[in-house]
């Protein structure tokens, strides 16, 4: 088996495993706990798949991403409902009242400027993700799959892209992007298998909705589509 075939097999297995996992977690009777644990496993699966792929096909240069590197955190981010709900749960469980109130204000302000914008329009504004704190992601452990899939191999290129309002490209480690996407596809397929609609949700708009609704996970599990206004 060639390296390319091995990488493809690893990525395909991750997608299938995630599809089965998502479907099992969302079979009736449904619970918020099972939903959030499944979303957390999806993130772990994406990380592990990226590691497995890198062991077979290492990046051409070391991954440049790390704490205190916020250059890509000014673009439009989308996620599935379970991923957004996991972020909201993490905030509710680990942030104090003052920090949460401050976040609500930031989210409201940025959402007012960005809701409905496409990728290029959002990038040109160069507004920071409201979850950035001191140049690092404040919810790094539960950041969405779309964030995990971006792995730059050139920090200087990231700085140049940021300075140009994302007009310049960034060399990415493509297999990591493919690994995260595969897990995302598996997650969505599992949702469809259990009767849920596929929703591609804009993160900031979803946070604006979810931070004002403590019952949003239960509402989503009941099929009430609380993120309709955040769908991209």
Domain ranges of the chain: 3-230
Query: Three-state DSSP class for 77?
Result: coil
**Res 232 pLDDT > 80:** no
- Per-chain mean pLDDT for the chain: 95
pLDDT value of position 123: 85
Among 120-134, 142-156, 203-217, the least confident range: 120-134
Distance CA 93, CA 118 (A): 32
**Res 164 pLDDT > 80:** yes
**CB count, 10 Å around CB of 14?**
26
Q: Are 214 and 186 in contact (CB under 8 A)?
A: no
Q: Confidence band (pLDDT; 50, 70, 90) for 167? A: confident
Count of H-run helices and E-run strands, the chain: 10, 4
- Residue 152 carries which DSSP code? B
Q: Confidence band (pLDDT; 50, 70, 90) for 191? A: very high
The residues with which 78 forms a beta bridge, in sequence order, are 202
Q: How buried is residue 136: exposed, middle or buried, by Cβ count under 10 Å (0-12/13-18/19+)?
A: middle
Q: Could you give the C-alpha distances from 77 to 74, 94, 194, 201, in angstroms and in order?
A: 9, 22, 25, 8
Query: Tokens 């991750």 correspond to what residue?
Result: 14
Q: Confidence band (pLDDT; 50, 70, 90) for 67? A: confident
């Amino acid at each position: 088996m060639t390296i390319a075939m091995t990488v493809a097999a690893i990525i395909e297995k991750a997608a299938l495993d995630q599809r089965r996992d998502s479907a099992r977690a969302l079979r009736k009777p449904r619970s918020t706990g099972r939903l959030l644990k499944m979303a957390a496993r999806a993130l772990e699966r994406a990380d592990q798949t990226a590691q497995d792929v890198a062991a077979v096909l290492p990046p051409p240069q070391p991954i440049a991403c790390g704490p205190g590197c916020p250059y890509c955190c000014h673009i439009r981010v989308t996620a599935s409902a379970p991923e957004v709900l996991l972020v909201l749960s993490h905030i509710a469980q680990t942030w104090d009242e003052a920090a949460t109130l401050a976040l609500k204000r930031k989210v409201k302000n940025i959402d007012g400027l960005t809701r409905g914008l496409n990728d290029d329009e959002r990038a040109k504004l160069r507004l920071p993700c409201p979850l950035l704190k001191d140049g690092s992601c404040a919810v790094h452990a539960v950041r969405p799959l779309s964030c995990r899939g971006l792995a730059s191999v050139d920090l200087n290129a990231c700085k140049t892209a940021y300075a140009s309002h994302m007009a310049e490209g960034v060399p990415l480690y493509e297999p990591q992007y493919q690994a995260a996407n595969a897990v995302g596809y598996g997650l969505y397929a599992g949702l469809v298998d259990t009767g849920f609609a596929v929703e591609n949700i804009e993160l900031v708009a979803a946070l604006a909705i979810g931070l004002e609704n403590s019952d949003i996970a239960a509402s989503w599990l009941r099929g009430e589509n609380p993120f309709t206004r955040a769908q991209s």
